[in-house]
Structure 1
Amino acid sequence: MTGTFAWRDMLDRAQAAKLLGKEMFVVLTSPAKTMDDIKAVLPEHLAFQRGLEAQGIMFAAGPLADRDDPETWGGEGMVLIRAASLDAAKQIADSDPMHSSGARTYVLRRWLINEGGFTLRVGFSSGGFELC
């Protein structure tokens, strides 16, 4: 790496370029114990995640396939959260039963969403939806 920018500069550059400039936080979570330990905490973890979703804190979450064998899952996951600060995001990640139990550890990263998009199709009569 040949240099860095201050994070504030990244936010300012996004605003000046009329990009979205929405800051979120990425929680990359990895096994610290056995899969049995992870599975034991999974119901509490999922309830915690649903609570974050209901409160509008969690943007998205889910498991990550293994790097070396994309047909298997070794306990890694990713959570995208909305928080007012890095410290607030850390408190949220620390509160996850996966982390507080020691079944998983995590790395927390700031993320600035500048480009991209999504399509949501809602069927009124069917009550179905599709997210693309």
Structure 2
Amino acid sequence: MTSESTGTGSAWAALIHSPGPTASGPLFRDPRFAHHLAFLRSLDEKGWLVAAGSFADADGEGMTVVRCPASVGLDGVERLARADEAVVSGLLSVRIRPWRVVMAGT
């Protein structure tokens, strides 16, 4: 992947999560979901988390919006997203979508 920037030195991505190959039952009740929450907290601690949550119309699916320094780029975001223990264990699958932001609120 290549880094897309808004001209402000940031790379943006949408991480689309869905149930993985080893998921069974409600994802939020699976003990492995705690790993996903830890992953989201790590993004927040870095200052990269814009928003995260589940889709209201699709059980077990959700999206995380990430804005990171262009120096990290989407390759860095992809490495982190694929290292999420909930993804590694197969509870979740993740699709990383580069996002070309042309307008952002303050």
Bin the TM-score by the shorter chain: 0.7 to 0.9
Ranges of 4+ aligned residues in structure 1 off by more than 6 Å: none
2:13 alignment partner in structure 1: 25
CA RMSD in angstroms comes to: 2.6
1:82 alignment partner in structure 2: 67
SS of the aligned residue for 1:40 comes to coil
State the TM-score, normalized to the length of structure 1. Answer: 0.61
Structure 2 CA distance for aligned equivalents of residues 26 and 81 of structure 1: 6
2:53 alignment partner in structure 1: 62
Identity fraction in percent: 29
1:35 alignment partner in structure 2: 25
Q: Computing the radius of gyration over CA atoms, which structure comes out larger, 1 or 2?
A: 1
Deviation at 1:45, TM superposition (A): 1.6
Q: Please give the residue correspondences for 1:1-20 in structure 2 after superposition, counting only pairs within 5 Å.
A: none
Structure 1 CA distance for aligned equivalents of residues 66 and 46 of structure 2: 11
Q: Which runs of 5+ in 1 are unaligned?
A: 1-6, 68-73, 119-132
Q: Which runs of 5+ in 2 are unaligned?
A: none
1:41-87 residue CA offsets vs partner (Å, 9 max, x unmatched): 122221221121011122221111225xxxxxx11111112342222
2:91 alignment partner in structure 1: 103
> Which of 5, 27, 46 is the matching residue for 2:37?
46
Structure 2 CA distance for aligned equivalents of residues 21 and 66 of structure 1: 34
Deviation at 1:35, TM superposition (A): 3.0
Structure 2 CA distance for aligned equivalents of residues 88 and 22 of structure 1: 12
Deviation at 1:117, TM superposition (A): 1.3
SS of the aligned residue for 1:51 comes to helix
Deviation at 1:37, TM superposition (A): 5.5
SS of the aligned residue for 1:112 comes to coil
Question: Partner amino acid for 1:35?
Answer: G
